[in-house]
Amino acid sequence: MASKPRVKVPKNAAAGEVITIKTLINHNMESGQRKDKDGNPIPRMIINKFTAEFNGQPVFSADMHGAISANPYMEFTAKVNESGTFKFTWVDDDGAIFTAESEITVG
């Protein structure tokens, strides 16, 4: 249902710099309120949790609900003091987990 997530993290930053991070995952985000051609409800299937970690420490998280649009896009900032790896995780209603990682060099 979801495809490979896309993330945009700067490759380099100065120590203490606040950077902007952008993420997008292709996902239908079925709300559970629509019906199929036979009138049967289409089961809800959404990304319900997004988290971002930097070097194993949480920096951002979001709980999502049925009103979120398809292909959810997230943009947030983080302050970086050292080089490391951002890890992004999306979890959908059936328990499927989608991850992406991006490294940044601080110096």
Q: What is the pLDDT of residues 25-83, one digit of tens each?
A: 998 888 888 999 999 999 989 999 999 999 999 999 999 987 888 899 999 999 999 99
- Would you list the DSSP string of 38-55? TSPBPPPB-EEEEEEEET
16: CATH: 2.60.40.10
Contact 87, 78 (CB under 8 A): no
Q: How many domains does the chain have?
A: 1
* 1 lies in some domain: no
Dihedral (Cα; 33, 92, 87, 58), 10-degree rounding: 80
Enter the pTM of the model.
0.90
Domain that holds residue 91: 6-106
